[in-house]
Chain A
Amino acid sequence: MAEYYFHTQQMAVGYDGKPLITDISVEIERGEIVTLIGPNGSGKSTILKSITRQLKLLGGSVYVAGEELRRLSYRALSTRMAVVLTERMKPELMTCRDIVATGRYPYTGRLGILSPEDEAQVDAAMRTVHALDLGDRDFNAISDGQRQRILLARALCQQPEIIILDEPTSFLDIRHKLQLLDILRTMAKQRGITAILSLHEIDLAQKISDKILCVKGDHVASFGTPEAVFREENIRALYDIDRGSYDPMFDSIELPRPEGEARTFVICGGGSGIPVFRALQKANTPFVAGILHESDVDHRLARLLAAEVVSERPFEPVSEAALGRALAWMERCDAVINAGPPLGAMNARVGELIERARGREGYREW
């Protein structure tokens, strides 16, 4: 138990005394990044607000560095935990540096006057988030990406052991998302600052997190390493995806495959098929793909988008039987698209398939 920096036991959270999510038990070690994922309105913010004591805990307990959250005074907690919230703050006439400096609150004296040590901490925090040049800009006049970095600097300035961030990447473009998460990871790994955050981007969540907490409405669907949590069926169930699909290996999210009878055959392999699949998908044309080894990158996508995949086991030469199946499918198709797969010893029979297709009506090369 003692080695966990942060853990909860049967925590119950909710609004107005009504529990929304119950029985939340998680253990987090120092310096770990834990991400809450789940659909909109699933209670990610409710959990974070309960951890930061904006909401009253409705049951169970939360321990920070071995101490019960409820026993800690606000002041004692403020030197351990800092927050970056979603609510838009609209401070009046405050520069970015003023905002960052408010993080020194627990360390300044009665009147809150900054000492040289405090000033140095403010500078250091702004340097960490690459925002030194924003110092004298009005906080209300900067971009969303800059704003999030300033708020993160403010939290860092508080010299916390743990930072709670509620959807820190909302409103940010992809560059700023990556930048922010990169700062967060560096901070966690170099300084051992634990981070608990919520994200909408499951692809980023997988890449940055040490642990993932899936929140679904009234319960925690799963908690564990990204490898354990990010399975196709988990994600489908978590977000109730009944149309469309998710590939955990590439973190890609696909629209549902076109419906109807497949009348197009795509000869592909080695990645040549992917642009063809996408084009057919957009045109809402159902298709058959082949002949693909199960290890082929085309196979991973065809599995999700094609009506039917003619496949072969990995690293085996394409068999006579597979060729036969492909030809049978081709017979039923009006169009054959040759995506131009690379040909080699293992898929020599794909070359044969192309030869047979060439004479047909409706044959075309991509």
Chain B
Amino acid sequence: MADRTPVFFSERFRRRGRCQLVFALLIAALFVITVLNINIGSVPIPMGEILRILLHRATDTTQGSIIWKIRLPRILMAAILGGALSLAGFLLQNFFGNPIAGPFVLGISSGAKMVVALTMILLLKRMGAVSSWALVAAAFAGSLLSVGFILLLSRKLRHMAVLLVGGIMIGYICSAVTDFIVTFAEESDIVNLHGWSLGSFSGMSWDSVAMAAVVVGITGAAVFLMSKPIGAYQLGEAYAQSMGVNIRAFRTALILLSSILSATVTAFAGPISFVGIAVPHLVKRALNTSKPLIVIPATFLGGAVFCMACDLVARTAFAPTELNISTVTSVVGAPVVIAMMIRRQQGR
């Protein structure tokens, strides 16, 4: 047995090394993509200029105001919301014990869209205008509405796969209601809805960034502190309970945290598909572990990098026309999901 011990140590050492490497790469990628994102655009800004503007908080020049008023908030928002979206996906996948669970799949986005559509039409009728904060509030309420329904269903449906289908059905119902509203609405009332429902990081104000940062920051920290019970839950409900986890409280906390995260994203950037499924999967593969303590921060970083990169593509690929963020995330994310399912099939 004595000769076995070093094997463990070397194995543990190797794993630790791998994790450190992945984190180093993620941070490097974050840095590179941030710089590229500031640099590239309809007005290219050279590196030296970027440093000067950032360090001196110079907003007097055109370039300065482009960076401070347009590009920087957008980059930060893509990072915060991308991280939040991936984290929400990771939590929902653990909750449902299913790798394809995610905010988009479960109809959380559809619920948000439904309430946003209602709000737009009602507010435009009554007040003739709709503020962006009202839309944020509406999207948030809609997301929580969907989650509420899923939670209600979960009292009746004990089986997680069935509950997942239930969540998808809720999504369809919300979409149907939205279509119904749209069919009978005036064209002018819903012109903004179409733009919103495609998802975008553009036009972010610093106020929005600050608010998103606070909500996501607090929720993210809470999620990180829950990594121990999440790890136990990965073995199944019964085992987690036998280790001392209060399952009912834990599950409620898990679904609440993930819905706050996905509601925040949907509220500010609209529905964004596939990030929540693809990123946690890629991160787990890269780290070769599913330990929440490591995966949670890595998923957040990975989601930030992924969304910033997708946003860069959305902005620049067909400039001056800007793509919707979901267009890019789907093109990159969907093949990842397919590859994941094929691998799973082969693994069994």
Contacts and interface: CB of A to CB of B under 8 A. Distances in A.
A120 to B, nearest CB: 11
Contacts of B1: 127, 132
Contacts of B227: 111-112
A83 B231 CA distance: 17
Interface stretch (A100-108, A251-259, A281-289): A100-108
A54 B243 contact: no
B241 A75 contact: no
A58 B196 CA distance: 52
Contacts of B235: 89, 91, 99, 102
A140 B1 CA distance: 24
B20 interface: no
Most chain A C-beta atoms within 10 Å of own C-beta, residue among B1, B5, B242: B242
Interface stretch (B28-36, B114-122, B285-293): B285-293
Given A97-B8, A102-B232, A108-B228, A92 B242 contact: no
A110 B241 contact: no
B244 A78 contact: yes
A94 B290 contact: yes
B293 A113 contact: yes
Interface in B1-26: 1, 4-5, 7-8, 11
B40 interface: no
Interface in A78-125: 78-79, 81-83, 85, 87, 89, 91-95, 97-99, 102-103, 105-106, 108, 110-113, 123
Nearest to A158: B243
Interface string B214-252: 000000000001011001101110110111111000000
A77 interface: yes
Nearest to B246: A74
Is the interface on chain A under 10, 10 to 19, 20 to 34, or 35 or more residues? 35 or more
Contacts of B244: 73-79, 105-106
Interface string A36-61: 00000000000000001110000000
Contact of B4 (A93, A102, A133): A133
Contacts of A113: 293
Contacts of B5: 123
Interface string B277-299: 00000001100111101000000
A233 interface: no
B228 A52 contact: no
A136 interface: yes
A351 interface: no
A94 B235 CA distance: 10
B347 interface: yes
A94 B234 CA distance: 10
Contacts of A97: 8
A355 to B, nearest CB: 65
Contact of A91 (B238, B246, B290): B290
Contacts of B289: 93-94, 98
Contacts of A73: 244
Most chain B C-beta atoms within 10 Å of own C-beta, residue among A82, A97, A102: A102
A135 B246 contact: no
B341 to A, nearest CB: 14
Nearest to B9: A119
Nearest to A132: B4
A105 B7 contact: no
Nearest to B234: A91
A92 B228 contact: no
Most chain B C-beta atoms within 10 Å of own C-beta, residue among A79, A81, A132: A132
Contacts of B288: 93
B243 A110 contact: no
A112 B242 contact: no
B11 A98 contact: no
A73 B289 CA distance: 31
Contacts of A78: 242-244
Contacts of B241: 52-54, 74
Interface string B244-275: 11100000000000000000000000000000
Contacts of A83: 238-239, 242
A103 B228 CA distance: 12
Given A111-B293, A112-B228, A89 B236 contact: yes
B237 to A, nearest CB: 8
A85 B238 contact: yes
A140 B347 contact: yes
Given A94-B290, A98-B289, A105-B244, 6 more contacts: A74-B244, A78-B242, A87-B238, A103-B243, A110-B225, A133-B4
Complex A-B, nearest 7 residue pairs according to Cβ-Cβ distance, in ascending order:
A78-B244, A112-B228, A105-B243, A75-B244, A92-B290, A136-B11, A83-B242
18 contacts: A54-B238, A73-B244, A74-B241, A77-B244, A78-B242, A85-B239, A87-B236, A89-B239, A91-B290, A94-B234, A98-B289, A102-B232, A103-B243, A105-B228, A112-B293, A113-B293, A132-B4, A140-B347
Interface of A: 52-54, 73-79, 81-83, 85, 87, 89, 91-95, 97-99, 102-103, 105-106, 108, 110-113, 123, 127, 132-133, 135-136, 140, 158
